[in-house]
Amino acid sequence: MFLVIDIGNTLKKAAVFDENGQIVSQCCWETVAELLGTLIPYEIQACLVSTVRNDGPQLVDELKLHFPTMLFTSAMPLPIVLKYDTPKTLGTDRIASAVGAHYLIPDCPVLAIQAGTCLVADLVTAEGEYLGGSIAPGLHMRFTALAEGTARLPLIQPRFDAEVLGKSTETSILSGVFHGILFEIDGMIEYYSKQFSGLQVLLTGGDASLLKNSIKNPIFAAPNLVLTGLFRILRYNV
């Protein structure tokens, strides 16, 4: 069995894959003891840790006491080619998303969109070249920024029924944030579709369920995209 760990800005996620690349167990966790408790039924052959925080080396040292563990960096051998100007600054979650996207749809250019703490888009060609993408505030970050960056605007929770034409302060905020991010995603898809014939789009992340039915362009939901990419990277190196 193979273990991959994805530590993002909000959640710590882990997944156990079998030899065939199927997820047999996954969880969110807080402490190493809690994580290890979920792994008791499995014999872990190798582990890959991806983190956007600074706790990676310490976690790897702790896990190495139990099974072979590596910290994922952009310098690691990859099944795709990075065509990025500053690969050392490239988030490992973005690389994993691109690897997962190319693995799931290998014969087409793919735009992988992560809708989480940030709205992140990454483009990988049919030849497996990662070209780059974009980073913007995510859905909840936009609501929080309006509330914390102004004197009188309230903090609003996302809703599915937001009208484009807001007729109150609350519905105006809902419209601006919810429809603004939808217009942004649709505009991005339309732009890249003109540049890359046959473009496919994958949507993942914690807010994907809020957005997927409102995006007008065709997309495919890929809830485990980053975990899948991490598994492919781990197998590429083991």
Of 148, 145, 186, 189, the closest CA to residue 164 belongs to: 186
Is the confidence at residue 53, as pLDDT, over 90?
A: no
Q: What is the pLDDT of residues 127-164, one digit of tens each?
A: 999 999 999 999 999 999 999 999 999 998 887 778 88
Two structure tokens written together for 111: 């735009």
Is the confidence at residue 237, as pLDDT, over 80?
A: yes
CATH superfamily of 1-71: ATPase, nucleotide binding domain (3.30.420.40)
- What per-residue confidence (pLDDT) applies to 232? 97
- The band of 52, judged by pLDDT with boundaries at 50, 70 and 90, is confident
What is the residue type of 198? G
* CATH number belonging to domain 74-225: 3.30.420.40
- The band of 125, judged by pLDDT with boundaries at 50, 70 and 90, is very high
Does pTM surpass 0.85? Answer: yes
**Is 161 noted as a catalytic residue in this protein?**
no
Highest mean pLDDT among 50-54, 167-171, 204-208, 227-231: 227-231
Our separate counts of H helices and E strands in the chain read 8, 11
Q: Which helix H or strand E contains 234, and what residues bound it?
A: helix 225-237
- What per-residue confidence (pLDDT) applies to 8? 83
Q: Please, what sign has the CA dihedral across residues 137, 111, 105, 50?
A: negative
Give me the catalytic one of 18, 85, 93, 207. 93
Our measurement of the distance from residue 223's CA atom to the centroid of its chain's CA atoms, rounded to an integer in Å, reads 9
Burial class (CB in 10 A: 0-12, 13-18, 19+), 88: exposed
Give domain limits for the chain.
1-71, 74-225
Contact 56, 71 (CB under 8 A): yes
Domain 1-71 and domain 74-225 have a common topology: yes
Q: What is the pLDDT of residues 94-124, one digit of tens each?
A: 999 999 999 999 999 999 999 999 999 999 9
Two structure tokens written together for 118: 């940030």
Average pLDDT over residues 18-45: 92
Q: What is the pLDDT of residues 185-236, one digit of tens each?
A: 999 999 999 999 999 999 999 889 888 888 888 899 999 999 999 999 999 9
Q: Which residues contact 88 (CB under 8 A, 6 or more apart)?
A: 74, 75
How many Cβ atoms from other residues are within 10 Å of residue 71's Cβ?
18
Q: For strands 69-71 and 81-82, give the pairing.
A: unpaired
Q: For strands 110-115 and 118-124, give the pairing.
A: antiparallel
- What per-residue confidence (pLDDT) applies to 122? 97
- What per-residue confidence (pLDDT) applies to 229? 96
Torsion of CA 174, 176, 181, 183, to 10 degrees: 120
Q: What is the pLDDT of residues 29-41, one digit of tens each?
A: 988 999 999 999 9
Helix, coil or strand: residue 65 = coil
- What per-residue confidence (pLDDT) applies to 112? 97
Two structure tokens written together for 179: 């429809």
